Amino acid sequence: MNVQILLFEGFDELDAIGPFEVLKRANECGANFQVKMVTLGLPRVIGYYGLEVKADEYINEENYPDILIVPGGGWNHRGGKGARKEAESETIPSLIGKFYKEGSIIAGVCTGGMLMAAAGIAKGHKATMHHLAEKEMESYGCEVVGARVVDDHDLITARGVTSGIDLALWLIERFVGSEAACQVEKRLEYERRGTVWRRR
């Protein structure tokens, strides 16, 4: 599966790095995730807490991923960089909307879900969100569920920063199987937290 993690100036480091490592480790357990860090055209981006990351490639409207993971960052701080600023610029929400229409699964970690909402794709769906942004998420017309991860078919959201790890483990379970997810969990010395709400 082609998985792209979309980075932008002020992204939350753990929102992106957590899922990146989990999905990479899944390949040691029989998965086939092609995981890349992508940007809007910057060769390097700086996270909210100062980590500089070199992108694998630029996001390309002609190369729609199977799964696009969108980290949050800076939303609740209302600073000069991060997810809120990207939502206001509308460039990333527009791309998310295009990818969604082409069939990509969109997965948001923490306030990355707010960029999904700003894209207009969360309306009428169930989602989860960091507790400080729940009301804002609801204002976009979606129902916020108090689960750790919410899987509403082609829209998946994870509640807060560390829940990106749980989101990635859920992706492994959903697309590879529970045995592989358990193997990765064991290798990480991590125990999944909370519940996954899934639409049947």
Ordered structural domains, the chain, with CATH: 2-198 (3.40.50.880)
Q: How confident is the model at residue 21 (pLDDT cuts 50, 70, 90)?
A: very high
Distances (CA, A) of 38 to 57, 61, 93, 103: 5, 12, 15, 18
Strand partners, 196: 149
Q: Average of pLDDT values for 83-88?
A: 96
Q: Decide if pLDDT at 78 tops 90.
A: no
Is-contact 80 89, C-beta < 8 A?
no
Q: Decide if pLDDT at 200 tops 90.
A: no
Helix (H, G, I), strand (E, B) or coil at 97: helix
Q: Decide if pLDDT at 28 tops 90.
A: yes
* Predicted local distance difference test score (pLDDT) of residue 10: 97
Is-contact 14 73, C-beta < 8 A?
no
- Radius of gyration for the alpha carbons in the chain, expressed in angstroms and rounded: 15
* Predicted local distance difference test score (pLDDT) of residue 61: 86
d(CA 193, CA 133): 20
Q: How confident is the model at residue 79 (pLDDT cuts 50, 70, 90)?
A: confident
d(CA 150, CA 9): 26
* Predicted local distance difference test score (pLDDT) of residue 62: 86
Compute the C-alpha angle 65/69/73, nearest 5°.
145
Strand partners, 158: 109, 149
For 151-175, the pLDDT digits (tens) are: 999 999 999 999 999 999 999 999 9
* Helix H or strand E encompassing 114: helix 112-118
Structure tokens at 4: 């792209």
Write down the pTM of the prediction: 0.97
Q: Decide if pLDDT at 140 tops 90.
A: yes
* Predicted local distance difference test score (pLDDT) of residue 198: 97
Q: Average of pLDDT values for 110-117?
A: 98
